[in-house]
Amino acid sequence: MSLLTRRAVLAHGAGLALAANLPSWAEAPAPAADAFLADLERRTFDFFWETTDEKTGLAPDRWPTPSFASIAAVGFALSAYPVGVARGYITRAQAAQRTLTTLRFFAGLPQGPGKTGVAGHKGFFYHFLDMKEGLRFDRCELSTVDTALLLMGALHAQSFFDGEHADEAAIRKLADELYGRVDWTWAQVRPPSISHGWSPEKGFIRSDWKGYNEAMLVYLLALGSPTHPVKPEAWDAWTSTYDQQSWGESYGQTLLRFPPLFGHQFTHCWVDFRGIRDAYMRDKGLDYFENSRRATYVQQAYAQANPLGWQGYSTEVWGVSASDGPADISLQYTTTVGKTVKRRFISYAGRGMGLHDDGTLAPYAAGSSIAFAPEIVIPALMAIKARHPHTFGRYGFWDAFNPSFNFPDVRLTHGRIEPGKGWVDTDMLGIDQGPLLAMMGNHRGELVWQAMRKNAHLVRGLKRAGFTGGWLG
């Protein structure tokens, strides 16, 4: 029987991390792993195909709980459709029609500085939109990063749909239109950095995108803009904060650190960083892909060490990132070593190693690193499903689970208590399902990366940021 052997691990670039003998749990039979991934990929695709509004392209922030639309989830949905075509789940014509519907809808949404009756301003879109009309939901912010996630999906569609059919030509034109509308320089309220966002009630958010996190895609898109580009010093300012805030050692790895795993994953859903480097990474002797691979191993090591004594954390079961959680409450908790302490549990948070870690694990957190370290991610996903079958459903993994939260009398914000097994979510989040599907596509055929390497806007942004080498030529 074919196994995930040491040679396969080395081929995936994990030799240094696995210098010792492979643990038994990493020796997963390949046919079983392939069948598992094929099933998970199909279920996760179906989440986007079946929950997204076919008349507007709006994707819900969460399902099945009724919710507003998330523009970031729409971006991931746009990248889901080409994956579905490649796998044979839907036809190219079906994918083109859904994509064209989505882009036309967004191109037609009203923009302006008003508090209501609009979907965005200066080309940016509000973080959340009403699921029916696509207008600003409540008093949410105009989000630079969520707009960037939406645009990455649009540009992926632009590169994938490269045929002569009128629908595909229209997709390419609309992607250019939406991208060209965004005035990135307007968001540089404290230049050269880019603000997190803006609202008509309070103006610009006081925080700018600095340090190493998911906002690499914000700067790459801003640099690559054909209409309102920021200057290259914006990237220099961005990376200048790395040493102070992010670079260091953690669990035997030297890397750019960011506690939640999603910060190491989101930009990578669309950008193949293998072998290309900016000035900062050339100086460090690695690329961002290798950095994310190291971050994945750090997360596994953190779960193995389990410094807070949570139930269920292990070498096989790990993954702390932004996700739902059980409730906002402080309770007495008995750790795995028998110590009773007061712990704060949280409903939703940008969880990470040592950051809002309340024992909640998110399967997508491990899963979205599959392209970086499949030799530990695939066994982790299989172990989660095997040991915690209540975490798996119609569309794959529910958003999160917490084996430590066994408090049946607490009023929950999300999810339910599985008797004897702790809390499990009863929702799936589009912004979490999205990177899982995209990175499974990249692992099994480079489906997103292959298209995006051809996108002139992305290539322009990378080169203006100073990236050289590899596939950039």
pLDDT recorded at residue 38: 97
User: Residue 72 is part of a domain; what is its CATH number?
Assistant: 1.50.10.140
* Residue 165 sits in the same domain as residue 293: no
Residue 15 lies in a domain: no
pLDDT tens profile 204-219: 999 999 989 999 999 9
What is the rounded CA–CA span in Å between residue 320 and residue 190?
Answer: 32
**Structural domain span for residue 109:** 57-229
Residue 345 lies in a domain: yes
Residue 460 lies in a domain: no
Residue 126 lies in a domain: yes
Find out whether 209 and 196 touch, Cβ atoms under 8 Å: yes
* Residue 304 sits in the same domain as residue 421: yes
Find out whether 345 and 329 touch, Cβ atoms under 8 Å: yes
* Residue 47 sits in the same domain as residue 119: no
* Residue 207 sits in the same domain as residue 268: no
pLDDT recorded at residue 31: 87
Longest CA pairwise span in the chain (Å) = 66
Tell the residue number behind the tokens 């920021």, with chain if given: 230
Residue 450 lies in a domain: no
* Residue 340 sits in the same domain as residue 426: yes
The last residue of a domain, from among 200, 229, 258 = 229
> Residue-wise pLDDT tens for the chain (473 aa)?
233 332 333 333 333 333 334 444 445 558 899 999 999 999 999 999 999 999 999 999 999 999 999 999 999 999 999 999 999 999 999 999 999 999 999 999 999 999 999 999 999 999 999 999 999 999 999 999 999 999 999 999 999 999 999 999 999 999 999 999 999 999 999 999 999 999 999 999 999 999 899 999 999 999 999 999 999 999 999 999 999 889 999 999 999 999 999 999 999 999 999 999 999 999 999 999 999 999 999 999 999 999 999 999 999 999 999 999 999 999 999 999 999 999 999 999 999 998 999 999 999 999 999 999 999 999 999 999 999 999 999 999 999 999 999 999 999 999 999 999 999 999 999 999 999 999 999 999 999 999 999 999 999 999 999 999 999 98
Residue 103 lies in a domain: yes
Tally of domains in the chain: 2
pLDDT tens profile 390-448: 999 999 999 999 999 999 999 999 999 999 999 999 999 999 999 999 999 999 999 99
* Residue 97 sits in the same domain as residue 188: yes
* Residue 220 sits in the same domain as residue 269: no
The percent of the chain in helix, strand and coil, each rounded to the nearest 5, is 45, 15, 40
Find out whether 468 and 276 touch, Cβ atoms under 8 Å: yes
DSSP of 89-101 = SS-HHHHHHHHHH
* Residue 280 sits in the same domain as residue 224: no
The last residue of a domain, from among 195, 229, 263 = 229
* Residue 145 sits in the same domain as residue 253: no
* Residue 219 sits in the same domain as residue 266: no
* Residue 360 sits in the same domain as residue 424: yes
Residue 340 lies in a domain: yes
* Residue 175 sits in the same domain as residue 312: no
What is the rounded CA–CA span in Å between residue 205 and residue 162?
Answer: 38
pLDDT recorded at residue 473: 84
Residue 451 lies in a domain: no
- Of the CA atoms within 13 Å of residue 452, those in its CB half-sphere come to 29
What is the rounded CA–CA span in Å between residue 313 and residue 85?
Answer: 37
Task: Supply 151's token pair.
Answer: 């645009």
pLDDT recorded at residue 30: 83
The last residue of a domain, from among 229, 263, 280 = 229
